[in-house]
């Protein structure tokens, strides 16, 4: 048994009766959701069905687990046990392996964004409220960072409130939800699948790739996350990805804020280096873009020539902290 977020995972082995009435032995996973979150079981199952039918299955290299069943009443799904090791495990590997895994993850996402219209639910529309909560609760834990956290949240919210066209999005596309074995890439965990801004998934993947090595080994490992993020973004761009600036940076910043909140507020982790440079980096990204995805050093940022401070909604044209 494995606890995964708010769900329980059970690995099982059994028999599957196909359309020809022939029994096939399979490895599968039972994912049991809390009663209050039964809709996630339905959402995940429907997303898997659509993607599996649209070609995300063997013999293709880009896949999702095969869905076997779902019970809204009992709040569980049955699906194939996906093979491979997480992209997250490659973040600390050698340069070649790390970059290859990051490129493979980008190719899977490109394939999703090129898929024909999928009948997925709309964006829940709670990003603004959640972003405010992330900043407020982090500020309670780190009052010395309250000002910069609030400034970052205000700017992220201002940008999120600007509507954009939406496409099918995984919704939780991070390095632990991408499994790789050889040339085969399988994305898992579609509980948050919905129609979202085109920049949501790539921004989420990059933000998580940037910060995960920091959680494991502190600031000394930040360059590994930047290397993975750069390889991911280059492959995504070269493949004609639909995400554009400044929306991409907005979602990278929002994701890093969310990850810090999850680690410090939800999991109550005592980070050896506190929030380290992340709040400052978030504000600098929002002001001038995220240079880490272009191969710049991860310990500092480089402002684009001519970058302007944008006024924050609800404030009197407040400058970002580094220029205050």
Last residue of a domain, one of 62, 81, 100: 81
Residues 48 and 147 in one domain: no
Look at residues 192, 162, 151 and name the one whose alpha carbon lies nearest to residue 285. Answer: 151
Residues 69 and 86 in one domain: no
Is the previous residue joined to 310 through a cis bond, with omega within 30 degrees of 0?
no
Residues 139 and 217 in one domain: yes
CATH code where residue 141 lies: 3.90.1200.10
Last residue of a domain, one of 81, 107, 142: 81
Residues 21 and 102 in one domain: no
| Secondary structure, 3-state, 8-71 | EEEEEEEEEECCCCCEEEEEEEEEECCHHHHHHHHHHHHHHHHHHHCCCCCCCCEECCCEEEEE
- The confidence score (pLDDT) of residue 200 equals 97
In the sheet with 7-17, reading across from the earlier edge strand, the strands are 2-4, 7-17, 23-32, 76-80, 67-71
Residues 2 and 134 in one domain: no
| Farthest-apart Cα atoms in the chain, separation | 71
For CA atoms 131, 134, 140, 143, give the dihedral sign.
negative
pLDDT in tens, the chain (324 residues): 444 556 666 677 777 666 676 777 778 888 888 877 788 889 999 999 999 999 999 999 999 999 999 988 888 899 999 999 999 999 999 999 999 999 999 999 999 999 987 889 888 889 999 999 999 999 999 999 999 999 999 999 999 999 888 999 999 999 999 999 999 999 999 999 999 999 999 999 999 999 999 999 999 999 999 999 999 999 999 999 999 999 999 999 999 999 999 999 999 998 888 998 999 999 999 999 999 998 765 544 333 333 333 333 333 333 333 332
Residue 321, judged by CB atoms within 10 A of its CB (0-12, 13-18, 19+), counts as middle
Residues 310 and 228 in one domain: yes
Residues 4 and 134 in one domain: no
Does some domain include residue 8? yes
Residues 73 and 97 in one domain: no
Does some domain include residue 63? yes
Does some domain include residue 302? yes
Does some domain include residue 179? yes
What pTM was estimated for this model as a whole? 0.87
CATH code where residue 20 lies: 3.30.200.20
Burial letters 75-109, b for 16+ CB under 10 A, else e: bbbbbbebebebbbbbbbeeeeebbbbbbbbbbbb
Last residue of a domain, one of 81, 97, 115: 81
What range does the domain containing 37 cover?
1-81
Look at residues 109, 263, 255 and name the one whose alpha carbon lies nearest to residue 193. Answer: 109
Residues 86 and 207 in one domain: yes
Go through the chain and tell me how many residues it has.
324
Residues 207 and 156 in one domain: yes
**Tokens standing for 191?**
């509980």
Name 32's bridge partners.
8, 76
Does some domain include residue 315? yes
Block residue for tokens 């360059």: 223
- Cα–Cα distances in Å, from 274 out to 226, 261, 270? 20, 12, 7
- The confidence score (pLDDT) of residue 9 equals 66
Residues 151 and 257 in one domain: yes
Does some domain include residue 164? yes
Residues 44 and 138 in one domain: no
| Secondary structure, 3-state, 204-225 | HHHHHHHHHHHHHHHHHHHHHH
Does some domain include residue 324? no
Name 63's bridge partners.
186
Q: How many CB atoms lie within 10 A of CB 140?
A: 10
Does some domain include residue 3? yes
Number of independent structural domains in the chain: 2
Task: Answer yes or no: are the C-beta atoms of 187 and 177 closer than 8 Å.
Answer: yes
Look at residues 278, 291, 282, 212 and name the one whose alpha carbon lies nearest to residue 252. Answer: 282
């Amino acid at each position: 048994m494995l606890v995964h977020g708010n769900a329980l995972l059970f690995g099982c082995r059994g028999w599957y009766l196909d359309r020809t009435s022939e029994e096939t032995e399979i490895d599968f996973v039972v994912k049991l959701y809390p009663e209050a979150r039964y809709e996630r079981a339905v959402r995940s199952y429907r997303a898997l069905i659509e993607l599996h039918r649209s070609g995300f299955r063997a013999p293709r290299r880009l896949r999702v687990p095969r869905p076997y069943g779902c019970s809204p009443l009992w709040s569980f799904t049955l699906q194939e046990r996906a093979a491979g090791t997480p992209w997250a495990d490659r973040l600390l590997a050698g340069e070649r392996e790390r970059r290859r895994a990051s490129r493979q993850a980008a190719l899977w996402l490109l394939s999703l964004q090129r898929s024909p219209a999928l009948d997925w639910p709309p964006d829940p529309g709670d990003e603004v409220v959640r972003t405010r909560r992330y900043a407020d609760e982090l500020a309670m834990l780190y009052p010395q960072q309250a000002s910069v956290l609030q400034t970052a949240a205000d700017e992220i919210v201002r940008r999120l409130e600007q509507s954009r066209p939406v496409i099918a999005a995984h919704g939780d596309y991070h390095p632990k939800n991408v499994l790789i074995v050889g040339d085969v890439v399988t994305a898992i965990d579609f509980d948050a699948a919905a129609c979202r801004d085109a920049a949501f998934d790539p921004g989420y993947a990059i933000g998580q790739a940037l910060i995960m090595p920091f959680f494991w080994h502190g600031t000394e490992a930040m360059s590994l996350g930047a290397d993975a993020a750069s390889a991911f973004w280059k492959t995504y761009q070269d493949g004609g990805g639909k995400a554009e600036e400044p929306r991409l940076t907005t979602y990278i910043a929002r994701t890093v804020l969310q990850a810090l909140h999850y680690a410090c507020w939800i999991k109550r982790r005592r980070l050896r280096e506190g929030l380290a440079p992340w709040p400052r980096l978030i504000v600098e990204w929002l002001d001038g873009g995220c240079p880490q995805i272009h191969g710049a050093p991860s310990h500092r940022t480089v402002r684009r020539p001519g970058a302007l401070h944008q006024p924050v909604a609800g404030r009197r044209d407040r400058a970002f902290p580094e220029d205050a």
